Structure 1
């Protein structure tokens, strides 16, 4: 079988040229990739490793900055728990308005829920349109609501960590900051998770290059610092300067309450936890004042937070009926296991009834 040498030569020349072209393109692509890799390596320290940069972040003007929640913080169980507590609180406050919040970012950005919540908490009616569909209208409503909030909180020393643009752009950290501040100022009957912090990536454009930094934002501290906003008294001094004497005080109070509760074959070993549902407080008041408290006046086996608050509030009423001053503590604080609040209530009973049989 014969072959055509000319055809073979032609094919070899064509394939050789094609191979050379492909090889050059490959080398060119490798150089391009290497250049891109080098550029990425130079900028790598400036770019967030876990936060996604959105298109609007790349379009930042010179010296402008944008912040975003680090995805790892978004999934943090304590941060999620804080959001749930705030959502439940809002829904409870706005139950009569038939408002149900499911997602803080999606449900609060337009100002409608924030307006209703502030009006409910403050007892003030804001002069804003009820329904606003346009972005301009929503921002105008937000402006009015936030001005009222800031006017209330700023004189109390609050750092304003939110604004119209951050709330409207669904900045979750700003929204949570605002809600925590309102909950603390109005002493909401909720237990905020302690020591909740999140990482926020701040992106800034400088000389045309995006620079980023990770900042830690502390959303909550301790329950005592957040909710125990009372005038300083002997217990503040005791806990701040002589915590070693706290057990002596607790032992004296336990001895006092057991002296009376033992008559009903009841005994207390933990002050903050065993008085939290209000049952022992009600029974103790009946024993101290020498009367029987009808069982229909309180929940003997309370299950919900509201039932426990009812019991403690009822015990407070009995104390005032007995001539005692209104307790400084709130019923919610006792239910929330706030030790200082519980100590204040029991110490008040101790000083007034320590001679009672």
Structure 2
């Protein structure tokens, strides 16, 4: 299995040679007394084992220190390579957080299909989950077989899915860091690159941990010699203004980049609009970025605009944690959609993180729809 590089193997250690030689001599003397074919077969096998052990011993010093390589991972064809995740990277807390966020997101998206993902390597390699996820996100049905057990069938499905993904992402500047072979061989790094790209492109309502990097061991065979290197792979950058975050530019991008002098005019208009309604509850806003970040004013504002009372048990009136604030903003977004508005382009996490552009987008959307409301 290609993903067994994390398993411990001491077969490749040079120190194991003397023990093997001693064992072989002991067995030879014992079997020599028995005589016959059995002894010759045993000796032949041990010579073969010793030869393989010797090859691993020669290659072992070239492997990066502290990385355990399974013998199967060194048995490569000429001019081929194998990429393995460094075991220490698996224990990184931000890496574990990234796995959890992506798994929860997939399960949320595919809940109606009754698909439950527990392990990204084991559940994504055959293309079934990736197919369903892409179809749900893109609203596009792919022409593939529903269930494929054979390796050929799985790779054909992956080929169709990845072609559709690449066709969608490449024009937006994404670097394709995955392939049919890497996904099917359960290369976790390739799977994560793909899922992060999809989450970012479709603006998934999740908060990806920032600056997640991992170490991978790249093993190549050139002219019969194993060549290895440890490479750092960056899976996520910052949420905003990163090569990972591709979104369509809108009026607020232009406003902040090219006409910052007009920003205060927009802010003043929005503050006047929200205070016209919040004043009914003796509330007043002076700072757009901070005062909407916990979601409370957004929820109350929606109740005022749609003329209903929001029960206090539906949200946190005095949220303390990041999660409680995200809950509030997400709930406000649900109320907006219930009122007939489109799903906000901003993510709840960005509003909570005091991202001015995201907050402006949400409030401007309310302004354009309710500016004539009394």
Q: TM-score, normalised by structure 1?
A: 0.71
- 2:309 corresponding residue in structure 1: 294
2:353 pairs with 1:309: no
Q: Could you tell me whether the CA contact under 8 Å between 1:195 and 1:222 is conserved in 2?
A: yes
Q: For 1:286-324, what per-residue CA distance to the aligned partner results, in whole angstroms no more than 9, with x for missing partners?
A: 66x6x843325994438595664231343477696xxxx
CA contact (8 A) 1:201 1:214 kept: yes
2:44 alignment counterpart: none
The corresponding residue for 1:229 is 247
CA distance in 2 between counterparts of 1:127 and 1:316 reads 32
1:339 aligns with: 356
Counterpart CA distance in 1 for 2:325 and 2:310 is 17
**Distance change (3 Å), C-alpha of 1:88 and 1:352:** closer
Tell me, yes or no, if structure 1 residue 94 matches structure 2 residue 110.
yes
Distance 1:251 1:268 in 2: 11
Aligned-partner SS, 1:194: coil
* Aligned 8 A contact 2:74 2:226 in 1: yes
Q: C-alpha separation between the residues in 1 aligned to 2:91 and 2:262?
A: 38
Question: Helix, strand or coil: the match of 2:240?
Answer: helix
In the alignment, what sits opposite 2:141?
125
Q: For 1:56, which of 72, 96, 117 is the aligned residue? A: 72
Q: Normalising by structure 2, report the TM-score.
A: 0.68
Range that drifts further, 126-135 or 105-114: 126-135
User: CA contact under 8 A between 1:93 and 1:117: conserved in structure 2?
Assistant: yes
* 1-structure distance, mates of 2:108, 2:226: 43
Deviations, residues 132-174 of structure 1 (Å, cap 9, x unaligned): 2222222222122112211222222211111111111111000
Residues 50 and 328 from structure 1, CA distance in 2 versus in 1: closer, same or farther, beyond 3 angstroms?
same
Picking from 181, 186, 205, the partner of 1:189 is: 205
1:171 match? 187
**Distance change in 2, residues 1:250/1:201 (3 Å):** farther
Q: Specify every segment of 5 or more residues in structure 1 that has no aligned partner in the other structure, as ranges.
A: 1-21, 26-35, 321-325
SS in 2 for 1:211: strand
Larger radius of gyration: 1
1:83 aligns with 99
Q: Which 5+ residue runs of structure 2 have no aligned equivalent?
A: 1-21, 26-52, 318-323
Aligned to 1:279: 296
CA RMSD of aligned residues (A): 4.2
Aligned length: 313
